[in-house]
Chain A
Amino acid sequence: MNDNASISWQLATVKDIRVENATVKTFTLSLSHWVAHLAGQYYDIRLTAPDGYQAQRSYSVASEPGQVGEIQLTIENLAEGEVSSFMHEVVEIGDQLEVRGPIGKYFVWQPKRKEPLLLVGGGSGVVPLMAILRHRAAVGAMNYTKLLYSVRSPEHLIYAEELRKMQQEGERLAIHLTYTRSIPEQWAGYQRRVDRAILEELLHTYPETPLAYLCGPDSFVEQVAVHLVNIGLPTASILTERFGPSGS
């Protein structure tokens, strides 16, 4: 907040590309000038054509800050996405990319915050929430925490295996999924869009007022925020990060 240093563009090398599902990949980038980010922050990627034309987009960091020298960006391939489609269709391991960050000092979680956490993600909005969960686990934070992750179908899940493991091993942590379109067989969990009843049910067990982090498409975040305000959460405890109309 008090530093006036500029956030400079730097070259990153693509170290790994992991396929998360049919439309989502995670890119591990080695940075020449790495600094530890805060969970929830993002990086800008800038693509430059031979004639000088440039395109930029912002992507939340998925990895936790303890992963020294590199960051992971989880990127959904949007049909009209100029940068996301390039990342999915052209970028290979070993390529260099211009990036800058970390950016954004508001939608962040730091271990010094001891409040319980309510993380609500829609579609790829789960990405910065995953950074928070990974950071929380890495530092052994004991904040009472729930993730509510709304996703169209099991095929659209990101981080499914890691979330399952977190649920088993994590302390004071609960992962809740809700499927909005197609539901796996023998599914006993939520199977509708996030509504007031789901949120009230989840909030019921909190020992004190949580910090709520909401991330996802505009309409998703808008609706969840309104429900939380109506339930009585102070507006200052509700942090939102929204992206375009596409998504869940």
Chain B
Amino acid sequence: MDNPFFTRGFLGKKRDQLADRLPPGQYKEEDFPVLSAGPTPAISLEEWRFTIRGLVNASKTWDWQEFQALPSMSFTKDIHCVTKWSKLDTHWQGVSIDTLLSYVEISPKALFVKAYCYGGYTTNIPLADLTQEKAFIAYQFEGQPLAAEHGGPARLVVPHLYFWKSAKWIQGLQLMDQNRPGFWENFGYHMYGDPWKEQRYQGD
């Protein structure tokens, strides 16, 4: 809007002390709300697989035991949901995407990734946003196995983008040459989703 608008009577007294750590339009949440479009899928560790496919020399798949044997890291990150809540200093344990990608040879044409999931969910992310320890596959949250409603057995975590990009119930990453919209991106959400630029919806 061209003219600055102020809401009559609104002083923002309830703003958080840590407001500088909150992207525009976000508030601090102590709980961990659940957001998903449908029922929570039940995935047994026996049937669980994680695959990297697409523009790589050969697909690579891990089962649960093999995945647990990979070098893991702990991460402390702030997360930001497009529905306006942010949660600060969340603790995760998982495998960095760099580690996973070191098992394949990536085609120079690969610029984007489709994260695909048990239950059918997908989301699209530029490959560069998943590397250099910016993203990981997490299987623990706050010292506990990741709960099913929060994406367990394992979810993608890309903390610098809105949290719908951190796909729950992750099944694999498909490397692509083009940026193809995933589930929420097809329903009007932003293709990239930078919370600091408030890229919530298409056109933001």
Chain A residues close to B by CB (< 8 Å)? 1, 3-7, 9, 11, 46-58, 80, 82, 85-86, 90-91, 95-98, 103-107, 218, 221-222, 225-226, 228-229, 235-236, 238-240, 242-245
Contacts and interface: CB of A to CB of B under 8 A. Distances in A.
16 contacts: A1-B187, A4-B202, A6-B201, A46-B25, A47-B12, A48-B6, A53-B12, A53-B15, A54-B25, A55-B27, A98-B1, A222-B149, A235-B119, A240-B39, A244-B29, A244-B85
B126 interface: no
Interface of B: 1, 4-12, 14-15, 19, 24-25, 27, 29, 31, 33-41, 83-85, 119-120, 149, 184, 186-188, 201-204
Q: Does more than half of chain A's interface fall in helix, strand or loop, or is it mixed?
A: mixed
A51 B39 contact: no
A97 B5 CA distance: 9
B112 to A, nearest CB: 18
Contacts of B84: 56-58
B37 A239 contact: yes
B32 to A, nearest CB: 9
Contact of B188 (A1, A225, A236): A1
Given A56-B25, A218-B149, A1 B186 contact: yes
A90 B7 CA distance: 10
Contacts of B6: 48-50
B188 A103 contact: yes
Given A105-B188, A225-B38, A49 B85 contact: no
Nearest to B198: A56
A90 B10 contact: yes
Contacts of A229: 39
Contacts of B149: 218, 222
A105 B6 CA distance: 30
A248 to B, nearest CB: 15
A11 B5 CA distance: 9
Contact of A98 (B5, B36, B40, B120): B5
Q: Does more than half of chain B's interface fall in helix, strand or loop, or is it mixed?
A: loop
Contact of A104 (B11, B186, B188): B188
Contacts of A103: 188, 201
A134 to B, nearest CB: 23
Contacts of B36: 240, 242
Contacts of A47: 7, 10, 12
Of A9, A11, A235, most buried by chain B (CB within 10 Å of CB) is A235
B10 A106 contact: no
B1 A9 contact: yes
B203 A51 contact: no
A105 B5 contact: no
Contact of A235 (B5, B10, B31, B39): B39
B186 A218 contact: no
Contact of A218 (B14, B19, B33): B33
B27 to A, nearest CB: 6
Contacts of A58: 83-84
A53 B6 CA distance: 10
B85 A107 contact: no
A225 B85 CA distance: 23
A86 B10 contact: yes
A235 B169 CA distance: 15
A51 B9 CA distance: 12
Given A1-B188, A104-B187, A105-B187, A245 B33 contact: yes
B140 to A, nearest CB: 21
A7 B198 CA distance: 13
Contacts of B83: 58
A235 B40 CA distance: 9
A55 B201 contact: no
A106 B12 contact: no
Given A106-B187, A222-B149, A235-B119, A55 B37 contact: no
Contacts of A98: 1, 5, 7
A7 B7 contact: no
Nearest to A246: B31
A43 B204 CA distance: 15
A30 B101 CA distance: 52
